[in-house]
Structure 1
Amino acid sequence: MALHNRISRQELKDRILNDPTPRTTISFYCYFRIEDPAVFRNTLYRALTELGVMGRIYVAAEGINAQISVPSANVDAFRSYLYSYPELDGLRLNIAVDDDGKSFYVLDIKVRNKIVADGIEDETFDMANKGRYVNAEQFNQLSDDPDTVIIDMRNHYEFEVGHFENAIEVPSDTFRDQLPMAVDMMEANKEANIIMYCTGGIRCEKASAFMLHKGFKNVFHLEGGIINYTNQVKEQGLANKFHGKNFVFDQRLGERITEEIIAQCHQCGKPADTHVNCVNDACHLLFIQCDECREKYDQCCSTACQEVIHLPVEQQKELRKGADKGRNVFNKSRQRKPKLNGG
């Protein structure tokens, strides 16, 4: 069996979009020691391909981080396979809140240095010394205390469309930048109760360990992140303290938690929380766009990009040569922000 996909991604995407097979979107992670990540990766690829799993999985010596889509009929078989590894037996699986089954269309499993890029080079840092888990009920109780500090460990564009009540944003594009920023922001409050949260738990778990490493005393992190919190709130009939949409890193780009729209279209300023990528292949800027602007600008971020997409294909290819999009995300806080029409 091949250990990599050999079919074009567009063909695979078309297959998924036209496939009526019910699928379930699942995310999970686990920090544990993997002696040979490459061997583990190949074994995983073979097994998950047989089960029809699609998604994005990172494997490193420190563990595994996965966002996947599984044929619903194979969820139990997938769980049984995953739990066959002693370190993963009984691992919590986060089931997507708002799922159309079209979250992924290819299986990518990559070996990385770390499952979350953190920029930590201190060899004395130890993930075993992490903050205390809190479930949804405990989170609500702690957050009712006005002296509790709630820190969002997601990127700025995730925070923009949805977050917990009274949460503090650490305004950055990357997790590696957020860690020292969070320490600096809280330097005068080392004795305070601090709750850290993220989408599925992986970033806030590492962040809680980093805060303890830096001398903070009372650090908690939301078990399973926003996804698990939302499911627990629904199951237990608890008050929901999250408002808006939860940004997710798959084809959906978000799952609806509440009906509130707390963000604005980056082009016209109307209430909107739908993230899109500019359809100009030389741009692909990630930004928020309302339906009216989507139609007005042909799914582009600007009239300049709109003009490009109507050029002959060969001319578009010439314009793309040598272009470096980098982390092409709209950020209102940057001095050199992309210029969106109407924004």
Structure 2
Amino acid sequence: MQLYNKLSAQERAHLIDKAGKDRLTISFYQYYKIENPHILRDHLFIEWNKLNVLGRTYISNEGINAQISVPSENLEALKNQLDSVSFLKECRLNIAIEQDNKSFLKLTVKVRDKIVADGLNDETFDVTNKGVHLDAENFNKLLADPNTICVDMRNHYESEIGYFENAITPDVDTFRDSLDIIEAQLKEHKEDKNLLMYCTGGIRCEKASAYYKHKGFKNVFQLEGGIIEYTRQVKNKGLENKFIGKNFVFDHRMSERISDDIVANCHQCGEPCDTHVNCANEACHLLFIQCEKCAEKMDACCSTACQDIIKLPIEVQKELRKGIPNSNKIFKKGRSEVLTYKK
């Protein structure tokens, strides 16, 4: 019984090209008390492997958080498979605005303590007492209300390339960092303002809205389906788009363009740019914004030091990588002393 990937990313990419079939990038989540997440993990891996599903999924006792891709021809089969799991029946699927057949190159289904790392003790508050869910039309209405404070629940490298008009965009590295910071900033408005939140697909707001209601905020609202579903409704219903720039996504595409505005800048030269890349030096892998000119000049690296390293033989690079504590650069995305024009 296969419960792990047997193909490398390169082999999978070759098979995708050879198949010549369009794939859909999809995300979904569901908070639900799962007694034995390991059983569900194995079940989903087996069933999804049959449907040629790829992607990254986390399962815990509190629910499931999935970002996957599936061949378009298997979409209905995937829906039927999800419907066969009681708490996933008719679960909303967020289909990506921009598609890329290689958004994911392997299938990973992991059991985690949390489906989103929030640092919260769920036993201390009612996680089901969530904020009011708003569709795109009502979100726009509340956003225009002068009595509303709109907060971006994403991280700094996400909001740097795109955000809603007049939204507060906390300069944080992680979701857990933002929770207490936002509460402290808005503590004077727990009763007299509307707290309107949004994130990529809605999952962070689900937990945050319950947490802020527990903390005494009286009027808590969240964008249902996040930026992804908002964009789809805006297009389908002909609504005014209030999102400026790109939506950061956690797959090989890295972003979806929502509006033509470029609100960020190249971290190396300062020119307008909103293209995220990872440093070509695998020992660094720093996420940052780089324009085409700098990519050519710097060989797709974040610094001259990394540029020197990638010119070495691969075996030498591998030796240099051994024992190097590079996790800080990888997880402190977009933060490095070499990024001269990082805002």
* Common topology (TM > 0.5): yes
* Structure 2 counterpart SS, 1:117: coil
Q: Structure 1's 258 and 327: CA in aligned 2 closer, same or farther, altered over 3 A?
A: farther
Matched AA of 1:266 = H
Q: Structure 1's 298 and 214: CA in aligned 2 closer, same or farther, altered over 3 A?
A: same
Partner of 1:51: 51
Deviation at 1:342, TM superposition (A): 7.1
Matched AA of 1:306 = Q
Partner of 1:283: 284
Aligned 8 A contact 2:262 2:272 in 1: yes
Partner of 1:129: 129
Residue 29 of structure 2 corresponds to residue 32 of structure 1: no
* Structure 1 counterpart SS, 2:26: strand
Q: Structure 1's 216 and 74: CA in aligned 2 closer, same or farther, altered over 3 A?
A: same
Aligned 8 A contact 2:265 2:341 in 1: no
Q: Structure 1's 17 and 259: CA in aligned 2 closer, same or farther, altered over 3 A?
A: farther
Deviations 1:159-217, CA, capped at 9 Å, x for gaps = 00000000101211111111111111111110110111000000011111110111111
Deviation at 1:18, TM superposition (A): 5.0
* Structure 2 counterpart SS, 1:328: helix
Partner of 1:325: 326
Deviations 1:55-89, CA, capped at 9 Å, x for gaps = 00000110000011010000011011101222111
* Structure 2 counterpart SS, 1:123: helix
Q: Structure 1's 31 and 47: CA in aligned 2 closer, same or farther, altered over 3 A?
A: same
Deviation at 1:327, TM superposition (A): 4.3
| Structure 2: runs of 5+ lacking an equivalent | none
- Identical aligned residues as a percent: 57
Aligned 8 A contact 1:162 1:244 in 2: yes
**More displaced 10-residue stretch of structure 1: 321-330 or 66-75:** 321-330
CA distance in structure 2 between the aligned counterparts of 1:342 and 1:35, rounded to whole angstroms: 48
Aligned 8 A contact 2:286 2:333 in 1: no
CA distance in structure 1 between the aligned counterparts of 2:114 and 2:122, rounded to whole angstroms: 14
CA distance in structure 1 between the aligned counterparts of 2:72 and 2:308, rounded to whole angstroms: 43
Partner of 1:111: 111
Partner of 1:292: 293
Partner of 2:183: 183
TM-score (normalised: structure 1): 0.96
CA distance in structure 2 between the aligned counterparts of 1:340 and 1:180, rounded to whole angstroms: 28
Matched AA of 1:285 = L
* Structure 1 counterpart SS, 2:139: helix
Partner of 1:200: 201
Q: Structure 1's 212 and 285: CA in aligned 2 closer, same or farther, altered over 3 A?
A: same
Aligned 8 A contact 2:25 2:69 in 1: yes
Deviations 1:282-307, CA, capped at 9 Å, x for gaps = 11000000011011111111111111
Q: Structure 1's 17 and 267: CA in aligned 2 closer, same or farther, altered over 3 A?
A: farther
Alignment of 1:213-292 (within 5 A): 213-292=214-293
Aligned 8 A contact 2:266 2:341 in 1: no
Residue 309 of structure 2 corresponds to residue 308 of structure 1: yes
Q: Structure 1's 327 and 20: CA in aligned 2 closer, same or farther, altered over 3 A?
A: farther
Aligned 8 A contact 2:269 2:341 in 1: yes
Deviation at 1:19, TM superposition (A): 4.1
Q: Structure 1's 126 and 14: CA in aligned 2 closer, same or farther, altered over 3 A?
A: farther
TM-score (normalised: structure 2): 0.96
Q: Structure 1's 118 and 209: CA in aligned 2 closer, same or farther, altered over 3 A?
A: same
Deviation at 1:8, TM superposition (A): 2.3
* Structure 1 counterpart SS, 2:124: coil
CA distance in structure 2 between the aligned counterparts of 1:153 and 1:13, rounded to whole angstroms: 33
Matched AA of 2:123 = E
Partner of 1:157: 157
CA distance in structure 2 between the aligned counterparts of 1:86 and 1:142, rounded to whole angstroms: 34
Runs of 4+ in 1 over 4 A off after TM superposition: 329-332
* Structure 1 counterpart SS, 2:123: coil
Deviation at 1:10, TM superposition (A): 3.0
Aligned 8 A contact 1:165 1:241 in 2: yes
Aligned residues: 340
CA distance in structure 2 between the aligned counterparts of 1:165 and 1:290, rounded to whole angstroms: 25
**More displaced 10-residue stretch of structure 1: 312-321 or 256-265:** 312-321
CA distance in structure 2 between the aligned counterparts of 1:328 and 1:83, rounded to whole angstroms: 40
Aligned 8 A contact 2:287 2:333 in 1: no
Partner of 2:63: 63
Deviations 1:304-329, CA, capped at 9 Å, x for gaps = 11111001223212221111222425
Q: Structure 1's 67 and 342: CA in aligned 2 closer, same or farther, altered over 3 A?
A: closer
